[in-house]
Amino acid sequence: MSAREAILQKARRALADVPDVEPVLDVAVVRPAPERDRSREEVVDLFAERVADYRAVVERATSSTVVQQVAAALRGREPSAGAGPLRILVPPGFPPEWVPDDVEVVHDGPDVAVSELDRCDGVLSTAAVGIADTGTIVLDHGEGQGRRAATLVPDLHVCMVRADQVVPAVPEAVAALDPVRPHTWISGPSATSDIELDRVEGVHGPRTLHVLIVGS
């Protein structure tokens, strides 16, 4: 007998006491009702506050101020190459008008080697969903967000979230996502508390997360 058959058969025997009915009829799942009394503004404000709680940088922006704010976020960072302009990774579909002029743009794509990503000083991306309750940004790696490695390997991630993408809570976010796509949920910069429970930001992911909430 194959391992598959053996496991399934053993599991069936183990559950002899369970009536043969549809799982949804056998066990009811009652979720808490979604809360409805928060205004758009409150939700976006809460999102900004909760993202900042993770020690990420959060700013409000309009589509015309984004480019200056991105430039300001990059200002003062040392190029890892030692000299010259910062090398900034830009995913396909990212709005070109949001990319400052004084950087060296690396256009991401499947052919860009991982070692090349490691030489980038930062990455710009958009997002799919923002979650107010938890201060979470969800990427579905579609237009403007790049493949998963793009927003992981460089040490700085500047992420543009449109205000109308922010939902109140986790259930709304899960409902808005397409399961077929890969997702990355980001709540602040990478962190560890493994050494005597002291929180240290930045182990493997970007050590700086800079979030611009675009629009109102």
Q: Which of residues 32-91 bind another protein (CB under 8 A)?
A: 32, 50, 53-54
- Answer yes or no whether residue 200 interacts with another protein by CB under 8 A: yes
Amino acid symbol at 121: D
Q: What is the sign of the dihedral through the CA atoms of 150, 64, 130 and 206?
A: positive
Q: Which residues of 77-115 are buried (b: 16+ CB within 10 A; e: fewer)?
A: eeeeeeeeebbbbbbeebbeebbbeebebbebeeebeee
Minimum CB–partner distance for residue 64 and another protein (Å): 31
From 57-65, 68-76, 79-87, 182-190, give the range in contact with another protein by CB under 8 A.
Answer: 182-190
Minimum CB–partner distance for residue 1 and another protein (Å): 10
Q: Are strands 87-90 and 57-61 parallel, antiparallel or unpaired?
A: unpaired
- Answer yes or no whether residue 154 interacts with another protein by CB under 8 A: no
- Answer yes or no whether residue 195 interacts with another protein by CB under 8 A: yes
DSSP 34: P
Minimum CB–partner distance for residue 38 and another protein (Å): 13
The answer to whether 121 and 80 have CB atoms below 8 angstroms apart is yes
- Answer yes or no whether residue 142 interacts with another protein by CB under 8 A: no
DSSP 163: G
211: β partners: 58, 159
Minimum CB–partner distance for residue 200 and another protein (Å): 5
From 28-36, 40-48, 67-75, 94-102, give the range in contact with another protein by CB under 8 A.
Answer: 28-36
The answer to whether 146 and 92 have CB atoms below 8 angstroms apart is yes
From 9-17, 38-46, 77-85, 119-127, give the range in contact with another protein by CB under 8 A.
Answer: 9-17
- Answer yes or no whether residue 118 interacts with another protein by CB under 8 A: yes
Quote the distance between the C-alpha of residue 173 and its chain's center: 12
Minimum CB–partner distance for residue 197 and another protein (Å): 5
Q: Is 61 or 158 the residue whose CB approaches another protein more closely?
A: 158
